[in-house]
Amino acid sequence: MSFLMSSASAPRTEKVPATAPVFELIEVEKVFQVRPPNSGLSRKTVGLRALDGVRLRVDTGTSIALVGESGSGKSTLLRVLLGLDAPTGGRALYHGAPIREARAKGRDFARDVAMVYQDARGSLDPRMTVEALIAEPLRHFNIVQKDQIKARVAELLDRVGLPTDAGRRYAAGLSGGQVRRVAIARALASEPSVLVADEAVSGLDVSTQAQLLTLLRGLQRDMNLTLVFITHDLGVASYLCDEIAIMYLGRIVETGPTDVVLNAPAHPYSAALRAAAPRFFEPMPEPLSGEIPSPLDLPPGCRFSTRCPAAQPDCGERDPQLGRFGAHRAVACLHPLTNPQA
Ligand X SMILES: Nc1ncnc2c1ncn2[C@@H]1O[C@H](COP(=O)(O)OP(=O)(O)OP(=O)(O)O)[C@@H](O)[C@H]1O
Nearer to ligand SF4, 83 or 320 (CB): 320
Q: Which is nearer to ligand SF4, 49 or 152 (CB)?
A: 49
In angstroms, what is the minimal distance from the CB of 71 to ligand X? 4
The sign of the torsion formed by the CA atoms of 291, 196, 321, 36 equals negative
Which of 92, 230, 315, 330 is the binder for ligand SF4 (CB under 6 A)? Answer: 315
Cα–Cα nearest to 265, from 228, 309, 226, 301: 309
How far apart, in whole angstroms, are the C-alpha atoms of residue 82 and residue 104?
Answer: 11
Choosing from 16, 264, 310, 342, the residue that interacts with ligand SF4 (CB under 6 A) is: 310
Asked if 10 contacts 189 with a C-beta cutoff of 8 angstroms, the reply is no
* 265-294 positions binding ligand SF4, by CB under 6 A: 267-268
CA–CA dist 256, 56 (Å, integer): 10
Residues touching ligand X, count (CB under 6 A): 13
When binding is defined by CB under 6 A, the residue of 132, 161, 335, 342 that contacts ligand SF4 is 335
Nearer to ligand X, 147 or 297 (CB): 297
70 belongs to the binding site for ligand X (CB under 6 A): yes
335 touches, from Mg ion, ligand SF4, ligand X, none (C-beta below 5 to 8 Å by class): ligand SF4
166 binds ligand SF4 per the rule CB under 6 A: no
Tell me if 75 contacts Mg ion by CB under 5 A: yes
From residue 33 to residue 72, what is the string marking binding to Mg ion with x (rule CB under 5 A)? ----------------------------------------
Distance CA 69, CA 36 (A): 22
Q: How far is the CB of 80 from ligand SF4 (least distance, A)?
A: 25
Number of residues that bind ligand SF4 (CB under 6 A): 14
Of 209 and 270, the one with the shorter C-beta distance to ligand SF4 is 270
The one segment of 65-73, 156-164, 214-222, 274-282 that binds ligand X by CB under 6 A? 65-73
**Judged by CB under 6 A, does residue 334 bind ligand SF4?**
yes
Is 114 in contact with 120 (CB distance < 8 Å)? no
182 binds ligand SF4 (CB under 6 A): no
Closest approach, Cβ 308 to ligand SF4, in A, equals: 3
Compute the radius of gyration of the chain from its Cα atoms: 21
Task: Report in angstroms how near the CB of residue 302 gets to ligand SF4 at its nearest.
Answer: 3
Residues contributing to the site for ligand X (CB under 6 A): 32, 34, 48, 50, 68, 70-76, 295
